[in-house]
Amino acid sequence: MAGHPKKKYSHANQGKRRSHLALAAVNLAPCPQCRTLKKPHEACPHCGTYRGRQITVIKTKRAAPGPA
């Protein structure tokens, strides 16, 4: 059987114990090609470039054909 605590953790001590579990905001950097915000060290999701090279091909939405 696993061990069990002998006393109840107070809410203050519980908060102190969990103080390092907070989530941090994601850092974003502008893409040098298209200037949209992206995660550093990753390919740009908007233009598909990384370190000045085209890595992925981004598909663009085609406009719906209008009445002829």
What span, in angstroms and rounded, lies between the C-alpha atoms of 34 and 2?
55
**For residue 38, how many other CB atoms are within 10 A of its CB?**
21
Per-residue confidence of the chain (68 residues) as pLDDT tens digits?
788 889 998 999 999 999 999 999 999 999 999 999 999 999 999 999 999 999 988 887 777 776 76
Contact 44, 35 (CB under 8 A): no
Q: Is the pTM of this model over 0.95?
A: no
Contact 43, 56 (CB under 8 A): yes
